[in-house]
Amino acid sequence: MAVVWVVASVGMWIGLHWYSRMVSTLKAQEGLVSMCEERARMLQDQFAVSVNHVHALAILVSTFHYQKLPSALDQETFADYTARTAFERPLLSGVAYAQRVVHAERELFEKQQGWVIMTMKREPSPVQDEYAPVVYSQETVSYIEALDMMSGEEDRENILRARATGKAVLTRPFRLLESNHLGVVLTFPVYRSGLSPDATVEERIEATAGFLGGAFDVESLVENLLRQLAGNQDIMVNVYDVTNSSEPLIMYGPQIPNNFNSLSHVCMLDFGDPFRKHQMVCRYSKDPPLPLSAITTPSGVFVICMLLGYILYAAWSRYDNVKEDCRKMEELKKQAEAADVAKSQFLATVSHEIRTPMNGVLGMLDMLLDTDLNSTQKDYAQTAQVCGKALISLINEVLDRAKIEAGKLELESVSFDPRSILDDVISLFSAKSREKGIELAVYVSNKVPEILLGDPGRLRQIITNLVGNSIKFTEQGHIFVQVHLADHLNLGMDAKVETSLNGHGDETKVVSAGGTFNTLSGFEAADTRNSWENFKHLLLENGFSEKPFESNDPSKVTLVVSVEDTGIGIPFHAQSRVFTPFMQADSSTSRNYGGTGIGLSISKCLVELMGGQIGFISRPHVGSTFTFTAVLRRCERSSGVDMKKPLSEALPKCSQVKAFLVDKRPVRVAVTKYHLQRLGIAVDAFSNVDLAIGAISKQNRNTVSGYKRDQCILLIENEFCCSETGISVRNQLLGQKQNGLTPQVPKLILLATSESDKTKAGFSVDAVIMKPLRASMIAACFQQALGLGQKPIREKPNGSAFLHGLLAGKNILVVDDNKVNLRVAAGTLKKYGAKVECVESGKDALALLQFPHKFDACFMDVQMPEMDGFEATRQIRLTEKKMNERMTNGEGTQIERSGKAEWHLPILAMTADVIQATYEECMKCGMDGYVSKPFEEAQLYQAVAKFLVPDP
């Protein structure tokens, strides 16, 4: 292709060059024609002038020689006149007059003239009919005197033709005698007077008296003319006699070689003799110079063509490269898709292979814990169970990260109680916080709706990750979780969290008179925006009057959740990579504190999926405050959306109780009030015990707000209470009762952070509430201390009673090829009262599910030999469809109907694969739900509650 383009470009160059040469040649030809025509015209004009003068001289001779008697002319007069008028005949070298003499008059004529008529060869003229000897001549041609002009054959013919026509006649070119130049002789007849203009030839012959001739030196004539006109024009001129076209006679100019190819132009000349033909040929002496444009223009076009060709070649090459890159990218895409499929399959396989035995381990441990164990054995089993759950949690985090990277993580949209979520998270870390002796507290603003619509599991996961990190890296102080609405709070979060994670800046420390900080625990916090000065405004009824959080949808709610701790903080150099997966502050972090560094990365992705942002402020050796937003939707209780029963609805209302709180930390007071007010308990807070006792005494003496409180409780923070203090307070209260100031002694309850605080109080208090505070715990403690109602029955955690109510008496079919998993699943379901039957393959399940069958639900493993769970489910749905069609057409038997309007067995996938692809495949084949291994009561309840109803 490139060669063709180059050849085409060269051809274009040649074509343009040829065209330029042609244009140049045409211009040169036009110039030559113009110059040649000009020279021919001037030569012709000058010759005509000379001819006219010769003609006038002939008339002069006729007039003064033949019409005057005696003649007025003689040789001397003729010579003198012609010499003096020679300037009028510049083209003639000389003129002469030849008299016509017949043979009869020759002798007399010779005697009169005194000489003998001679031929051109200077010999006496032979005898002939008539003669034309020269009698008068211009001095320049005096050598021709006495020569007979009719002695030559051609000359004779020319003279006779001139006599007959009465016009000028030219001879053929010949060498002039003296100059040896090429020339011609012009001959005019001289008639006697009285000849009419229309005389016949005979009359002209008869009236002829003689002949006037003039010799033209053509070479000199043309040379002088060209010298005047040529100037710097380098051209050659040739004059020819072409009377005989086959043998042209040159009259002027050099002989031209046959191979001379220069430009030429021919002009015909009219010298007045119609018989003889003449022409002028003009040529350039050398070829016209080639114009520069004939080279530059084609060369420029050639260069442009080459550049254009290069551009086209480069563009084509680029196109080919892009096309090849696209092909490679397509291949890479296919490889990536294949790798993604392989990755998903690998994750599914690894998840299944790890979770399957872990399901057995955890299930067996759970069953083991339900047996009679001594304390040591129970501790060992619980430790193993915790470790197994930690491994399962790690597997879930890795799979979550993989789903996020694949863009396959989807959020649920169910209703939930955010306060219940916070209580659940706090309860997870209660034991660890007590062990470390750190304050762990949660506060949810009253502005936050009781019920929201969103993904409670993912919200719980984010908060759990943040609180878990705080517990891990905090050895003293506090961990404080706050939840507010964005339109009542302005935290000034930066959208680019990575650029503001330094904790530097002008920070105002709010310090109390005692030298501690106005925080939950008195320890300094990294983010001073969460100080008491800001926090107390949020406790007011109207809150902040800040600019509302921008939201165009009134149905949306933006939560702002912050987790504040007083831990070790994050080094400044590591803060830029906090949200990078598997990255920690340094290599010692994992050794000292454990963890993989993936939790914050997953939290950031989940926050962004919820339409929020996450950021933090951290200072080394001070602590960290992580804050994130989440966009949720409002949800009314009557919306009909399935929701786990909120904890707040199960809380008893203790409106007949009045609490007196002794605590000098305002933030902690607000947290305690938050939990008490959820129970309907009125709270008064005091900074010391004496003020609280005085208030209790006053309360018992007076009626406040129109009613009287029947029960009083004195809540004391652990820092105000030791064994001696507790005894002293109790003695003061007993003294008031004995003095009649108090009808009954209020219950004294200690709010303890650690087991050591509980020990220090001893038996000086009526009850101890271990932090972190939860409304359910406070309610249970108050009921026990005050004797309100019966002591609550200790239920199994995670909704065991609900599950028992749903599964009791139900016939459940469990299909799994792993015998250990069968034992675990069967044991778990039987624990809740279900009747379980187990099979090890899909084919066996199909055999048991022939109509009519007794089963209320089926737990189906996905990966099994021979027939997997997907195919088994398809077969079951196909047989159900056929049976339902028969029943619709009235063809089913009474036994097959079994009192059912339609057959549809709830089938729940039971597998260790927890990736989205497996879930989608389960739904596609006709399954109704999904239960991942190992079983968890909450998930199991959520799955079966959609299909099973408790027996009445």
Could you read off the pLDDT of 238-272 as tens digits, one per residue?
A: 888 888 888 888 888 777 766 666 778 888 888 88
pLDDT of 207 above 90: no
Average pLDDT score, the chain:
79
pLDDT tens readout for residues 528-571: 776 666 666 666 643 333 333 445 567 889 999 999 999 988 88
105 token code pair: 């008059």
**How far is residue 348 from each of residues 389, 591, 819, 869, measured CA to CA in Å?**
19, 30, 21, 15
Q: Report the DSSP beta bridge partners of residue 130.
A: 102
Compute the average pLDDT of residues 904-911.
86
**627-679 tens-digit pLDDT:** 999 999 988 654 444 444 444 445 666 777 888 888 888 888 899 988 888 88
In CATH terms, is domain 650-786 a member of 3.40.50.2300?
yes
Q: Specify burial of residue 554 (Cβ count, 10 A radius: 0-12, 13-18, 19+).
A: exposed
Please give the pLDDT value at position 872: 92
H or E stretch at 223 = helix 218-229
pLDDT for position 260 = 64
pLDDT attached to residue 734: 67
Q: What's residue 60's pLDDT?
A: 86
Residue 504 pLDDT: 37
Task: Supply the DSSP string of 684-716, one letter for each residue.
Answer: EEESSHHHHHHHHHHHHHS-BTTB--SEEEEEE
CB 28 within 8 A of CB 288: yes
Candidate from 265-279, 818-832, 854-868, 900-914 with smallest mean pLDDT: 900-914
Residue 104 is classified by DSSP as G
Domain 337-406 -> CATH class: mainly alpha
- Per-residue pLDDT tens over the stretch 291-339: 788 788 888 888 888 888 888 888 888 888 888 889 888 888 888 878 7
Name the CA radius of gyration of the chain, rounded. Answer: 67
pLDDT at res. 951: 61
Asked whether 507 and 499 are in contact (CB, 8 A), the reply is no
Confidence of residue 826 (pLDDT cuts 50, 70, 90): confident
On the question of pLDDT at 149 being above 90, the answer is no
More confident position, 138 or 65:
138
Closest by Cα among 647, 686, 683 to 664: 686
Confidence at residue 495, expressed as pLDDT on a 0 to 100 scale: 35
pLDDT at 454 over 60: yes
CATH 3.40.50.720 fits 799-945, yes or no: no
| 560 beta partners | 484, 629
Distance CA 253, CA 249 (A): 11
Bigger pLDDT: 617 or 234?
617
What kind of fold does domain 1-290 have according to CATH?
A: Beta-Lactamase (3.30.450)
- Give the length of the chain: 952
Q: Pairing between strand 92-99 and 134-137?
A: antiparallel
> What is residue 741's predicted lDDT score, i.e. its pLDDT?
57
| pLDDT class of 788 with cuts at 50, 70, 90 | low
Which range, of 277-286, 457-466, 530-539, averages the lowest pLDDT?
530-539
pTM above 0.75, yes or no: no
Q: For residue 796, what is the DSSP state?
A: P
What pLDDT is recorded for position 496?
Answer: 36
d(CA 926, CA 548): 47
Sign of CA dihedral 563, 564, 568, 571: positive
CA 904/CA 881 separation, integer angstroms = 9
User: Average pLDDT in the 698-704 region?
Assistant: 61
pLDDT band, very low/low/confident/very high, at 221 (cuts 50, 70, 90): confident
Predicted pLDDT at 737: 62
* CA–CA distance, 470 with 483 (Å, rounded to integer): 17
Give the span between the Cα atoms of 470 and 737, in whole angstroms.
46
pLDDT recorded at residue 917: 55
Look at residue 761 in the predicted model and tell me its pLDDT. Answer: 63
Q: Comparing C-alpha atoms, which of 515, 440, 443 is closest to residue 478?
A: 440
- Say if residue 26's pLDDT is above 90: no
Q: Which two tokens stand for residue 299?
A: 């060369």
Strand (E) or helix (H) holding 102: strand 101-102
- Residue 383 is predicted with a pLDDT of 85
Residue spans per domain, the chain: 1-290, 337-406, 415-490+517-539+555-636, 650-786, 799-945
According to DSSP, residue 238 is labeled E
Alpha carbon distance, N-terminus to C-terminus of the chain: 88
The arithmetic mean of pLDDT across residues 351-367, rounded, is 77
pLDDT given at position 607: 92
Give the mean pLDDT of 78-85: 89
pLDDT score at 729: 72
Residue-level pLDDT at 916:
55
The answer to whether the 650-786 and 799-945 domains have the same CATH topology is yes
Q: Quote the CA–CA distance of 154 and 149 in Å, as a whole number.
A: 10
Q: What angle do CA 644, 915, 846 make, to 5 degrees?
A: 85
Over residues 563-580, mean pLDDT: 87
Closest CA to 527 of 559, 496, 493: 493
Q: Which residue has the higher pLDDT, 404 or 166?
A: 166
Assigned architecture for domain 415-490+517-539+555-636: 2-Layer Sandwich (3.30)
182-191 and 208-217 beta bridge pairing: antiparallel
> Counting beta carbons within 10 angstroms of the beta carbon of residue 569, is it exposed (0 to 12), middle (13 to 18) or buried (19 or more)?
buried
pLDDT, tens digit (0-9, with 9 covering 90-100), for 406-423 = 666 778 888 889 998 898
The per-residue pLDDT for 159 is 87
